[in-house]
Structure 1
Amino acid sequence: MRCVGATAVAALLPFLSAGCTCGNDEGTAAGETIADDRSSGHAGAWAGTAPSCAGLPAACGPSANEDCCKSLLVPGGTFARSYDGVDYLDRSYPATVSDFYLDRYEITVGRFRAFVNAGMGTQASPPGDGTGAHPKIPGSGWDPAWNTRLPPNTAALKSALACFVHQSWTDAAGSNETKPVNCLDWYMAFAFCAWDGGRLATEAEWNYAASGGSEHRYYPWSKPATSTTIDDSYAVYCGGTCRLQNVGTRSPKGDGRWGQSDLGGNAWEWTLDWDPVQYPMPCHDCAAVTAGSYRAFRSGSNDDLAPTLRSATRHVYYPEHRGNIGSRCARTPWSYTRNPSR
């Protein structure tokens, strides 16, 4: 695994600490009316129907009674990529993102089981050409050249999900259904989100959500933003002495600004981007979509130490890598009706 941490930024990849003069982080797409519930700390929820939750019980969250596919509005704005005001202090790489929805929870085993049971995620049933794209980023959809990167059939897909001793996948439904699925390579994660009516978040979008936009939170839950307070009541992490937990078990204490849980800890999360020579500039709804060697992932996992869970920290590795990595899906707001009661 190629890790970029706070102490390594200057020596390895200076572009990872980035910044800007921040603008309004409550922006909306043209012509939209936002249904918002700020009293709960959560923005309006996506009202679409995600195939992965069809027939699944509402069993996620701290009380195990929430829709596992709940997706919450992240109001767009401008922020400093990989800037946190404490360890990452370079403010030279601004980014602006439009409103988007980001799933409250990481992809669970139960949701991924629906994908597998539908016969998807294989060379026999790959995503369609161009699906899963960010509508404002050309070249961000599925490339048919990637079809051969998927397992050839469902049996091979299930085998790939058994990548190490602490895999969360089980061939039969059991006690892991609301844990984050791990052992996903980048292609599996992309294919799932495309099938589920969403897409992978860009690295800028993911970083923006974890940082609380222009608040630039040190951890996703940091209040004040520069607070470095962390313990296992905020996040599922313990340096290798605990296992994955059900998604949302540290909510609401460990939630990000817009209500997403486990943005630090539990499982790593793939993002859309290739690892570029430097962050894309200028960046207004941008992503690194030109082929490279590595894909970027974020969040830290249950078997990582505290510095890895910072909102500014990024890691990159080969897209074929499978380990304690899952993902969560982003969704495009202007395609759906917003409904704060969902």
Structure 2
Amino acid sequence: MRSVAVASVIVAGCILSLGACSGDETSSAEPDGGASSGNSSSGGSSSGSSTSSSSGNASSSSSSGEVDSGLVPVGDGSLGAGCNKDDECNSKVCGAGRKCVATKSCRPSTGSAPGIDTCGPKEPGDESCCKSLTLPVTKTRTLDKYEITSGRVRAFIDDLQANHGGNLRKLTTDFATANPTSQLGKLATDFPGYLDVVVPNDDKVFSEAQLPLWLGAFPHDAINRYDGCYLNSGGYGAATYWQDPAVLKEYGIGYTSPGNGVRKYGKDVLDKKPANCMPPIFLAIFCAWDGGELARTSDYREVYGNQPATVGAAQVFHPWSTLLSWGEFNWANGHGQACFIPGWPGCPAGAQTQFYAFPTGGTLADDDSPSIGAPGRFPKDVTKAVSEDGGEGWFDVGGNLLEAMWPNTKPIPAIKGYCDTAAGGGAGALACNRNQPASGAIPAESRPGTLRFAGDTPPIFLEGFSFEGHSLYSAAYLASDDGDEAKLGGATPAHFQYGKVGGRCARVKK
């Protein structure tokens, strides 16, 4: 087994910057609207011998757009119309179920593919996870209705391995070169050398830049005291991207000693969840491959709106028509803390109980992913702002995961460089650290690493609430009249990884 620095992530479920941990309560109580608390763990945590970071998704449509046998009548090219190849769709993507789909990440669509066709309320969900809605003000741009799912990321990884040799770095730098005014193109210009070093160039466990880590095994650069990703007994990890046990056991992940890499929940369950524990720069690469870019701060500001409410002695701003009560959106979902915002409607003054879990029956201390809802499972967590596309709003902009936003300006985060703590201490000029100071009863911790990139790194900012209890990130900016990005919160480097952070894509309207 590869020797890696994992001691820092054993207590992985604690609040960002707060350092408070939870108990192991589980509950099957449902949020309003019928988000199911079912007990299925289908999908199978089966083991395998491949060192690939992708498990693969069987489908009848190849990544080149040619559908296998069983031709169907060709429709008018609109979404949902019959197709046998990409050119028969206006979107240029014919799904595995021989219907036109919106983007490449929904190519595996069969009508029920996990994380592809399973967004929306209740289990298992029945709406495309790739649906994107025209913004309220910027009519030439769309913002995805739902958070990026692990199933959509899996479609990307399958394509990466099938058509790009697993070389994420080459795919990224080629795109940046060919599209110099794009998000990635400008990043390559503004932060020279960053993409050439930090982005994995193969899918192997033993690479300097390791794709299995970027997919959520645990952080490559352990910036935060607790990351909420690493999975073992009592670790409170919540990584939602299933990887082959043969890969994960190389990192000591699992519930035996040493870890055998087997997850508590299978691929089909986890693929429905929003992707977390992945660097926002990876999500930006995913969005570029999928025909868009990681959503920008201004995109979120358009849909968040300016709805004030008085909570206790404080004024807060929220994205809904009316202030939601605790339990109506996925915020402070158990985890043993007192209410983070005193006076929030319905929020208990003492330790929170868990109001949502899917599947039920597990121990959160071993795997906290059931606390995260698949996108759209909380039907009241929808924006007051609506799109001209059927009057629909955007889901989970309030709770579930914090979401990474790409800035329109070029601020510099306080944390510089890329320190590979997974590799252990480097020698001489390559030595770096992410040492953690003592905090109350939590002792100081040494985290030596190997310096992969020095200097300024691209920043992202965080938005919203999380299932664990993070609250009102960037609300001052999102509800502002002037859109001053100095009011943004949660500034972190674009390679930051955390179990409570996801994202969504935005696109030029076609």
* Residues in 2 aligned to 1:233 and 1:134: alpha-carbon distance in whole angstroms: 41
Aligned ranges for residues 118-133 of structure 1 at < 5 Å?
A: 118-119=159-160, 122-127=168-173, 128-129=175-176
* Residues in 1 aligned to 2:334 and 2:181: alpha-carbon distance in whole angstroms: 35
* Residues in 2 aligned to 1:302 and 1:275: alpha-carbon distance in whole angstroms: 30
* Residues in 2 aligned to 1:179 and 1:111: alpha-carbon distance in whole angstroms: 10
Q: Which amino acid aligns with 2:505?
A: C
- Determine if contact 1:237/1:266 at 8 Å carries over to the other structure: no
2:197 alignment partner, one of 148, 156, 181: 148
* Residues in 2 aligned to 1:194 and 1:126: alpha-carbon distance in whole angstroms: 9
Deviations 1:253-273 (A, max 9, x none): 111122111112222222222
Find out whether 1:301 has 2:466 as its counterpart: yes
Q: Which amino acid aligns with 2:495?
A: E
1:235 alignment partner, one of 320, 325, 330: 330
| Length-normalised TM-score, structure 2 | 0.44
Find out whether 1:105 has 2:280 as its counterpart: no
Find out whether 1:55 has 2:189 as its counterpart: no
Find out whether 1:194 has 2:288 as its counterpart: yes
Question: How many angstroms does 1:215 deviate by?
Answer: 5.8
* Residues in 2 aligned to 1:201 and 1:133: alpha-carbon distance in whole angstroms: 18
Structure 1 unaligned segments of length 5 or more: list them: 4-46, 77-96, 278-290, 337-342
- Determine if contact 1:264/1:309 at 8 Å carries over to the other structure: no
* Residues in 2 aligned to 1:124 and 1:321: alpha-carbon distance in whole angstroms: 21
% identical equivalent positions? 24
Question: How many angstroms does 1:177 deviate by?
Answer: 1.1
- Determine if contact 1:100/1:332 at 8 Å carries over to the other structure: yes
Change (3 A) 1:168 1:99: same
Aligned ranges for residues 39-188 of structure 1 at < 5 Å?
A: 48=91, 49-56=102-109, 57=113, 58-63=117-122, 64-76=125-137, 99-119=140-160, 122-127=168-173, 128-129=175-176, 140=186, 145=193, 146-155=195-204, 156-160=210-214, 161-163=216-218, 164=229, 165-171=237-243, 173-188=267-282
User: Which secondary structure does the structure 2 equivalent of 1:314 belong to?
Assistant: coil
User: Which secondary structure does the structure 2 equivalent of 1:175 belong to?
Assistant: helix
* Residues in 1 aligned to 2:295 and 2:180: alpha-carbon distance in whole angstroms: 10
- Determine if contact 1:275/1:295 at 8 Å carries over to the other structure: no
User: Which secondary structure does the structure 2 equivalent of 1:123 belong to?
Assistant: helix
Question: How many angstroms does 1:53 deviate by?
Answer: 0.5
User: Which secondary structure does the structure 2 equivalent of 1:125 belong to?
Assistant: helix
User: Which secondary structure does the structure 2 equivalent of 1:207 belong to?
Assistant: helix
Structure 1 match to 2:374 = 246
Structure 2 unaligned segments of length 5 or more: list them: 1-15, 19-89, 92-101, 161-165, 205-209, 219-228, 230-236, 245-266, 310-316, 336-353, 358-370, 387-392, 413-455, 480-487
Deviations 1:82-111 (A, max 9, x none): xxxxxxxxxxxxxxx564211011110100
Change (3 A) 1:303 1:270: same
Paired residues, number: 251
Question: How many angstroms does 1:114 deviate by?
Answer: 0.8
* Residues in 2 aligned to 1:2 and 1:132: alpha-carbon distance in whole angstroms: 37
- Determine if contact 2:176/2:184 at 8 Å carries over to the other structure: no
Change (3 A) 1:326 1:121: farther
Structure 1 match to 2:298 = 204
| Length-normalised TM-score, structure 1 | 0.64
Change (3 A) 1:131 1:109: farther
Deviations 1:210-231 (A, max 9, x none): 22xx6679222133xxxx4432
Change (3 A) 1:59 1:101: same
Change (3 A) 1:191 1:147: farther
* Residues in 2 aligned to 1:169 and 1:153: alpha-carbon distance in whole angstroms: 18
- Determine if contact 2:279/2:496 at 8 Å carries over to the other structure: yes
* Residues in 1 aligned to 2:130 and 2:503: alpha-carbon distance in whole angstroms: 13
- Determine if contact 2:464/2:472 at 8 Å carries over to the other structure: no
* Residues in 2 aligned to 1:152 and 1:201: alpha-carbon distance in whole angstroms: 25
Structure 1 match to 2:508 = 332
Change (3 A) 1:158 1:271: same
Q: Report the structure number with the largest CA radius of gyration.
A: 2
User: Which secondary structure does the structure 2 equivalent of 1:270 belong to?
Assistant: strand
- Determine if contact 2:375/2:396 at 8 Å carries over to the other structure: yes
State the Cα RMSD in Å. 3.3
User: Which secondary structure does the structure 2 equivalent of 1:245 belong to?
Assistant: coil
- Determine if contact 2:106/2:130 at 8 Å carries over to the other structure: yes
Question: How many angstroms does 1:296 deviate by?
Answer: 1.3
Question: How many angstroms does 1:185 deviate by?
Answer: 0.9
* Residues in 1 aligned to 2:474 and 2:321: alpha-carbon distance in whole angstroms: 12
Q: Which amino acid aligns with 2:507?
A: R
